[in-house]
């Protein structure tokens, strides 16, 4: 009714999913299944984004949306932003190197000091549980994350790679759980629990 629909960009998302009975759970805490961490991001930008366009790249909403909004407004983003403007994805431009994985964290806000860190590639998900059994899922063969492969020796080399990738990203992001903590570094990189 205001006549501004064709000059308005809309970004719609959610902060988390919900188990809704999956894995016999309700609510949104203490797990990093895709039911919780894979959330929608819907964008409407008349004249730029075509109707029904789909993008399957990894994006991190809380990190990527602020630099995207600044980019759309023509404002140069701050160097301390950890995210990346989604402008090339929105405009369907060729993007060079885009992230090949997503990282998510849980810090035990409602259920004590239970912390988790997760790295998810297109095919694999590794969840580091600092005080419990770690998790490894093949998302192509097991999209509902029902078969934990963490103790399957066939994936030992992959597990080492994912643990190092996760560690490097946590250090880059200055994650307080891992930065300067040699004991947790050894636990993550080496998979050595007490």
pLDDT value for 95: 76
The answer to whether 163 touches 189, Cβ cutoff 8 Å, is: yes
pLDDT value for 167: 94
The answer to whether 141 touches 125, Cβ cutoff 8 Å, is: no
Does residue 11 surpass a pLDDT of 80?
yes
The answer to whether 147 touches 157, Cβ cutoff 8 Å, is: no
Measured CA to CA, the distance from residue 4 to residue 162 in angstroms comes to 46
Each residue's pLDDT tens digit, 72-104: 888 887 777 788 888 888 888 877 788 899 998
Q: Where are the beta strands (DSSP E) in 64-140?
A: 102-106, 116-120, 124-129, 135-138
Measured CA to CA, the distance from residue 189 to residue 93 in angstroms comes to 37
Cross-strand pairs, 146: none
């Amino acid at each position: 009714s205001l006549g501004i629909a064709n000059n308005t960009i809309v970004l719609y998302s959610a902060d988390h999913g919900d188990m809704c009975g999956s894995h016999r759970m309700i609510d949104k805490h203490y797990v990093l299944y895709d039911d919780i961490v894979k959330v929608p991001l819907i964008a409407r930008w008349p004249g730029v984004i075509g109707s029904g366009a789909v993008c399957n790249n990894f994006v991190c909403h809380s990190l990527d949306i602020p630099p995207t909004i600044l980019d759309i407004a023509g404002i140069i983003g701050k160097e301390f932003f950890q995210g990346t403007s989604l402008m090339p994805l929105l405009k369907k431009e060729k993007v060079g190197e885009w992230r090949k994985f997503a990282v998510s964290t849980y810090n035990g806000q409602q259920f004590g000091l239970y912390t988790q860190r997760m790295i998810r590639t297109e095919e694999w998900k590794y969840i580091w549980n600092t005080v419990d059994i770690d998790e490894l899922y093949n998302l192509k063969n097991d999209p509902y994350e029902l078969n934990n492969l963490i103790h399957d020796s066939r994936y030992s080399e992959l597990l080492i790679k994912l643990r190092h990738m996760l560690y490097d990203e946590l250090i880059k992001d200055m994650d307080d759980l891992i930065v300067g903590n040699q004991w947790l570094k050894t636990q993550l990189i080496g998979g050595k629990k007490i």
